[in-house]
């Protein structure tokens, strides 16, 4: 090999044998298999067979429609009430009864869906996307990038949730001010994101760390996959399950957190409606009109359950071994 007189021609590459890849005559078996089914199609085919998926999807659809078009579910104005009728039990006119101001509890529960659903879904999406992205970057790149991002996450993680949320909301939404409902919803969602992303970042980071060493990542590198493709095809799909489970639980806890902040007077304020506000208002009248607390709470629990069930069925469908 060190002989200077050696012929430096490129190594002869004998053609691929007949029947090999390059023969045009190879019979085409394609038509019978039809159009190739993508990965999402596989997951969808699996989801379609799960009753749990259909039930939760139906419930979530109902809640989403309720949030977007509450007037489809009731023709009663949720803000109108007669003090004469206050604290009535359920009746033909007011199915769930009436609150302290004589307003219809059913209508208020329907209209309350919007704030709860919008805030929790947006905050969850943001938390999972931000935390997940930072987690992937931190886990995959490692080194000083990981060190820096993890320390920043630690700082945010160290903030007590309520104190942090109070601080943010008290600054931007002080009691006595009357910003628009949309602005408050956005503020609440942002403060939930800011204070919660470190948890999803840590979940993603540890999932990435365990997947990063897997043989199939090394094999993908050995076959010449680009770093971007390795992250997209091999790292993220194998880390999704734990994030998904966490995010469905997060939706539930965010609905609760939104209610808590409303109760403390820094979130949405009456006359705005949310399940959280209603539950808090109703506490003192639990014995007079149990429905005032019970119905919004039942909606809240059902919504949380629907999201958890949806997450669970998607997680199962994503894992080929459970099929």
Partner 1 sequence: MIRLSNLSVSEPGYTAGAGASRPLLEVENLFVEFHTREGVAKVINGVTYDVRAGETLAVLGESGSGKSVTAQTIMGILDMPPGRVAGGSIRFHGRDMLAMSAEERRKIRGEGIAMVFQDALSALNPTFTVGFQIAEQYRIRRGLSRGEAKRRAIEILDQVKIPNAKQRVTEYPHQFSGGMRQRVMIAMSLALDPEVLIADEPTTALDVTVQAQIMDLLAELQRDRQMGMILITHDLGVVADVADRIAVMYAGRIVEQANVHELYANPGHPYTIGLINSIPRIDEKGQELRTIKGLPPNLMRIPSGCPFHPRCPRAEQVCTQQLPPLLQVGPTRASACHFAEEMVSRG
List beta partners, residue 98: 104
Nearer residue to partner 1 within complex by CB, 33 or 180: 33
Cα dihedral 178, 104, 76, 55, rounded to 10, equals 100
DSSP 242-304: HHHHHHHHHHHHHHHHHHHHHHTTSSS-TTS--HHHHHHHHGGGTTT-HHHHHHHHHHHHHHH
Closest separation in Å from C-beta 211 to partner 1? 10
Which stretch, 9-17, 55-63, 131-139, 162-170, contacts partner 1 (CB under 8 A)? 9-17
176 near partner 1, rule: CB under 8 A? no
- Residue 201 DSSP one-character state: H
> For the CA atoms of 315, 316, 320, 323, what is the dihedral angle to 10 degrees?
-160
Taking CB under 8 A as the binding criterion, the range among 32-40, 108-116, 170-178, 286-294 that sits at the site for partner 1 is 32-40
Which of 6/84 has CB closer to partner 1?
Answer: 6
Give least dist CB 33 to partner 1, A.
6
Q: How far apart are CA 106 and CA 74, in angstroms?
A: 8
Considering CB under 8 A, how many residues would be counted as binding partner 1? Answer: 52
Kindly tell me which of 27 and 51 has the beta carbon lying closer to partner 1: 27
- Does residue number 33 form part of the binding site for partner 1 (CB under 8 A)? yes
The pair of three-digit structure tokens given for residue 37, joined into one six-digit string? 């089914």
Residues 216-245 that bind partner 1 (CB under 8 A): 216, 218-226, 229, 233-234, 237-238
Query: 189 Cβ partners below 8 Å, 6+ apart?
Result: 118, 119, 122, 123, 126
Does 4 help bind partner 1 (rule: CB under 8 A)? no
| Binding residues vs partner 1 (CB under 8 A) | 1-3, 5-14, 16-17, 19-21, 26, 28-30, 32-33, 35-39, 42, 214-216, 218-226, 229, 233-234, 237-238, 318-321, 323
């Amino acid at each position: 090999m060190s002989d200077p007189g050696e012929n430096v021609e490129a190594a002869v590459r004998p053609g691929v044998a007949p029947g090999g890849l390059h023969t045009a005559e190879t019979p085409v078996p394609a038509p019978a298999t039809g159009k190739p089914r993508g990965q999402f199609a596989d997951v969808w085919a699996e989801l379609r067979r799960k009753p749990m998926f259909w039930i939760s999807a139906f419930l979530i659809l109902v809640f989403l429609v309720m949030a977007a078009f509450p007037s489809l579910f009731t023709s009663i104005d949720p803000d109108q009430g007669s003090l004469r009728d206050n604290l009535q039990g359920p009746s033909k006119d007011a199915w769930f009864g009436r609150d302290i101001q004589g307003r219809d509890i059913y209508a208020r529960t329907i209209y309350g869906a919007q704030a709860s659903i919008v805030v929790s879904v947006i905050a969850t999406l943001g938390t999972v996307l931000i935390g997940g992205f930072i987690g992937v970057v931190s886990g995959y790149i490692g080194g000083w990038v990981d060190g820096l991002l993890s320390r920043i996450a630690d700082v945010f993680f160290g903030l007590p949730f309520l104190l942090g949320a109070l601080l943010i909301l008290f600054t931007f939404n002080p009691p006595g001010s009357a910003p628009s409902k949309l602005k408050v919803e956005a503020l609440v969602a942002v403060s939930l994101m800011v204070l919660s992303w470190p948890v999803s970042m840590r979940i993603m980071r540890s999932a990435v760390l365990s997947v990063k060493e897997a043989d199939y990542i090394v094999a993908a590198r050995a076959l010449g996959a680009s770093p971007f493709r390795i992250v997209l095809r091999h790292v993220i799909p194998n880390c999704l399950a734990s994030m998904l489970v966490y995010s469905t639980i997060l939706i539930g806890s965010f609905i609760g957190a939104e209610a808590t902040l409303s109760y403390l007077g820094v979130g949405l304020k009456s006359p705005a409606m949310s399940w959280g506000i209603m539950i808090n208002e109703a506490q003192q009248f639990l014995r007079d009109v149990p429905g005032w607390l019970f119905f919004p709470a039942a909606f809240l629990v059902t919504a949380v359950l629907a999201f958890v069930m949806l997450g669970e069925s998607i997680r199962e469908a994503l894992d080929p071994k459970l099929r």
